[in-house]
Structure 1
Amino acid sequence: MSTISLPTSLCDSTATELLALYRSGQASPLEATQAVLARIERLNPQLNAFCLVDADTALAAARASTARWQQGAPAGALDGVPVSIKDLILTRGWPTRRGSRTVDPNQAWDTDAPATARLREAGAVLLGKTTTPEFGCKGETNSPLTGITRNPWDLSRTPGGSSGGTAAAVAAGLGPLSVGTDGAGSVRIPAGFCGNVGLKPSFGRVPAYPLSPFGSVAHLGPHAMSVADAALMLNVLAQPDARDWTSLPPDGRDYRVGLDDGVRGLRIAYSPTLGYAKNVHPEVAAAVERAVQVLATLGAHIEAVDPGIADPLDICTGLWFLGASTVWSGLTPEQQAVADPDFRAEAELGQRLSALDVQQLNLRRGALGSQLRQFMQHFDLIATPTVAVPAFEARPAGHSPMDPVAMLGWTPFSYPFNLSQQPAITVPCGLTRDGLPIGLQLVGPMFGDALVLRAARAYESAHPAPRPPLARD
């Protein structure tokens, strides 16, 4: 690998590239961490991607990692790589406020969630916590606690949500890796809006603790600058943790193996609307069609076909509002008084659901999952847009009335695959005339995590993604 200039260009290196530099002695974890912290100091006031930065702890970890590399004894697969953690995920020593003024920061924070624990064990340098809307409740990242998070491609636009701080950080070079959560698209929406790779693995592939109050639609997954980085990070995150009784048994797989095997011979169902999305932005539709044509030139067999499902928006939002109502019922009146008005509105909608309503939603979800599993017997992958629209205006919490369409109507391609629990990845596939990223979503069969990574890597290799202007030093 050719020498790169130090130190600021280290911020634009992928995790895979950083590890190669550490191995060759061309750069150290301390140099990389110093560069990233300097860029955070410069850009975070504009982006509001981090709600907590712990430079002293990060530098101490980077020095220890540098010493290990100098001794030829790295501690794990991510030793010395700067990583951030979404502020829904418990991290020992730091408050996890979940974007909410209802959470008291002055309490014992002595537990790592499984994802945090695995990253720490792998030697990652933890930088801090990234912003989220209150309890991850929406596809924009704003909250009364942390304000508005912005998109590094255009500061007037949202980075999406709920992993908006995570996506903005990775896009701007504020650490090459970050952990997000995805309950209705919350990894893929912001990754699509910010021009990153975002993976929602099969449900249970990445253990969680505590389990989400929003139930089994909630996944954890990597945000990264490249597909190879996402595979590397999944290797770490997918390690077992007994605290999550819903997690999958470890498969012992190295997700980097076979990553460059291409898509020749794969059967891909190209579904530009999933049969029901009526308002796909024309530039998004055109870019995704071009991306699918690229996959065809690489040898994939493309068939334009819909999976035959009805729009499950009301199933997803009904179950989501039920989770919001559950959290809301555990808050005191004083806490409720300082909550995000959007979260309050979701909880009130959830309170209207009867036990029979919930049972019917779950039965309809089961029928949807069965239909998609049967469809996947005929195809290896489904290709769709990631989000129906480019990133829209960044707005404050409570900017408009909350209902299912306002919450998720503009992202009709994400939530079906939370309900079905299938793996889905977004990879950048172009820019609008206004210079905003567009994402291609590739959905695999249940447990087909390696397949979606492989297909995304094939596309990425043929169509490298640009970096946002804000990230240039």
Structure 2
Amino acid sequence: MTGTTDPAGPTGPTRPNGPADPGGLADLTAARLVEGYARGEFTPVEVARAVLERSEHIQPAVNAFVRIDAEAAMEQARRSADRWRRGEPAGLLDGVPVSVKDILLLRGGPTLRGSWTVSADGPWEEDAPSVARLREHGAVFTGKTTTPEFGWKGVTDSPRHGATGNPYAPGRTAGGSSGGSAAAVALGAGPLSLGTDGGGSVRIPASFCGVFALKPTYGRVPLYPASAYGTLAHVGPMTRDARDAALLMDVITGPDARDWSQLGPVPGSFRDGLDGGVAGLRVAYSPDLGGRVEVDREVAAAVRRAVEALEGLGARVEERDPGLPDCLEAFHTLWFSGAARVTQHLDPGRRALLDPGLREVCEQGAARSALEYLAAVDVRMSMGRLMGAFHTEYDLLVTPTLPVTAFELGGEVPPGSPYARWTGWTPFTYPFNMTQQPAASLPCGVDGGGLPIGVQLVGARHADALVLRAAHALYEAGAADVPPPPALASGPVSGSGPASGSAAGTVSGTVSGPVPRPAGS
């Protein structure tokens, strides 16, 4: 393990995706870790060591991290262990390893957002609100996870940090834009990660990587600095199951005055009623958005089995489409305008450093008029009204998370796709950023090649706890069980280097994985 003065941990059998970890500590959920700390079964130091070693083991294969800060993490773990020995844990997640997408501020190191246009120069003295709440609760921060530039697309690759490979097949994409977080959670590099979602960015990689993710109701998790993508952007948990997500939500929904659009305090806990089941819930199942989406046969079959599982648990299921309009152009107007805004200050030289696809959408966004933007807002409002009425009849809407499974690295769209942009293959995710509803993705099977498939559960605005409860019921019933990722080869993921082909940086005490520099820098 790099960057720490702690002695090496005890030897033991090698885990499928990691070095010696005799207790399988890196594979435990956050809830199980907290339980183990309270019982004295193991310590935060032992867990942090196992998770950091796993993180560095998987990094060459999938490029999940842009920074692994082992020294800081081990110091946080030692302080946590002292608190547990005294019987005075700081909060709900004291000693639990957490990674943070490199879009959110994490005090003490740069937040580079996958872009050569962001300087690493400090000071970096602020935490994002969700990060601040985690710090208050004693979490151990292991590092920052990989993102495409400014989180602009549904796959994870950037000129600065390269591509993130899928845990099940590193030559395929992990999805995006929270792909690094999804890969880390799937491979045992920490049970919890913070992602962001402006058009599907926690749900897309969760579906591709076989983990759980929740896009909460807009404003439920405070966000600062405000996203250039405006009220499309949400912060959400990425975890191994719904119970851990509920635990994480209990922490990160704490108030923060820096977010002017945050919602009021949550009454009670997201874990309250989590075991209440789905009996009697009214569930609408839309397999293809009224015939508008062509869904892969294996994906459709796996999602249908998940729906049948809900029915078997007592839910009242009806095949019914909500009748959402085609909102692609409205979403593009809002999304591309946000991208244009975040890069507006760049001079031509720095603009040339951007991902070429991002440059293209920025140009398109800058060409949108104020009237076009307001017309897109009108579309959002009409969609919100429609879904509000829909949820007076149905408690949940169930869809596939994505119509496909993970495709090859190196492209924004699957090979042979008729679409130019990532939104062409994500028709089930971005509409619910338009409406600001809570939406979760959880695994429901694998395709013939062993790649995970996701099912999406959507609730009415503010019904986050209900979405978590239904997801938890599927986990408890075994309907969300998927095989673990296969053992990883030790070589670098294909395509993880920079577009320019320049050499990757070396691993140091705080940086792990490909950290290339552009030609001539």
Give the TM-score band, short-chain normalised.
over 0.9
Decide whether the 8 Å contact of 2:275 with 2:473 is kept in 1: yes
Change (3 A) 1:290 1:472: farther
Question: 1:439, 1:20 → 2: CA distance?
Answer: 29
Q: Which one is further off, 146-155 or 333-342? A: 333-342
Report how many residues are paired: 470
**1:471, distance to aligned residue in structure 2 (A):** 7.2
**1:399, distance to aligned residue in structure 2 (A):** 11
Change (3 A) 1:57 1:160: same
CA deviation profile, 1:304-354 (whole Å, cap 9, x unmatched) = 000011221111121100001111211122210111111101101112211
Q: Which residue of 2 aligns with 1:230?
A: 245
Q: Which residue of 2 aligns with 1:165?
A: 180
- Tell me the amino acid that sits aligned with residue 372 of structure 2: D
Match of 2:67 among 52, 70, 79: 52
- Tell me the amino acid that sits aligned with residue 466 of structure 1: P
- In the alignment, is residue 287 of structure 1 matched against residue 302 of structure 2? yes
- In the alignment, is residue 198 of structure 1 matched against residue 213 of structure 2? yes
Q: Which residue of 2 aligns with 1:346?
A: 361
Q: Which one is further off, 389-398 or 344-353? A: 389-398
Q: Which residue of 2 aligns with 1:90?
A: 105
**1:56, distance to aligned residue in structure 2 (A):** 0.2
Matches within 5 A, 1:164-183: 164-183=179-198
Using structure 1 for the length normalisation, give the TM-score: 0.96
- Tell me the amino acid that sits aligned with residue 487 of structure 2: L
- In the alignment, is residue 458 of structure 1 matched against residue 473 of structure 2? yes
Using structure 2 for the length normalisation, give the TM-score: 0.88
Gaps of 5+ in 1: none
Change (3 A) 1:267 1:398: closer
Q: Which residue of 1 aligns with 2:326?
A: 311
Change (3 A) 1:379 1:146: same
- Tell me the amino acid that sits aligned with residue 38 of structure 1: E
Change (3 A) 1:196 1:398: closer
Q: Which residue of 2 aligns with 1:68?
A: 83
Decide whether the 8 Å contact of 2:407 with 2:414 is kept in 1: no
The one of the two structures with greater contact order (alpha-carbon pairs below 8 A, sep at least 6) is 2
Q: Which residue of 2 aligns with 1:114?
A: 129
Matches within 5 A, 1:125-140: 125-140=140-155
Q: Which one is further off, 349-358 or 30-39? A: 349-358
Change (3 A) 1:397 1:340: farther
State the percentage of identical aligned residues. Answer: 51
CA deviation profile, 1:215-251 (whole Å, cap 9, x unmatched) = 1010000000111000000000100001001000112
- In the alignment, is residue 470 of structure 1 matched against residue 450 of structure 2? no
Match of 1:413 among 428, 452, 472: 428
Matches within 5 A, 1:202-281: 202-281=217-296
Question: 2:449, 2:416 → 1: CA distance?
Answer: 28
Decide whether the 8 Å contact of 1:213 with 1:326 is kept in 2: yes
SS in 2 for 1:222: strand
CA deviation profile, 1:76-107 (whole Å, cap 9, x unmatched) = 10000000000000111110000000000012
Decide whether the 8 Å contact of 1:218 with 1:418 is kept in 2: yes
Question: 1:197, 1:401 → 2: CA distance?
Answer: 29
| Higher helix proportion | 1
CA deviation profile, 1:111-147 (whole Å, cap 9, x unmatched) = 1110110111110000010000000000000000001
Change (3 A) 1:250 1:199: same
Decide whether the 8 Å contact of 2:154 with 2:412 is kept in 1: no
Question: 1:148, 1:337 → 2: CA distance?
Answer: 19
- Tell me the amino acid that sits aligned with residue 425 of structure 2: W
Question: 2:399, 2:414 → 1: CA distance?
Answer: 29
**1:398, distance to aligned residue in structure 2 (A):** 11
SS in 2 for 1:459: helix
Q: Which residue of 1 aligns with 2:517?
A: none
Q: Which residue of 2 aligns with 1:358?
A: 373
Question: 1:422, 1:95 → 2: CA distance?
Answer: 31
Q: Which residue of 2 aligns with 1:18?
A: 33
Match of 1:187 among 190, 202, 208: 202
SS in 2 for 1:429: strand
Decide whether the 8 Å contact of 1:180 with 1:187 is kept in 2: yes
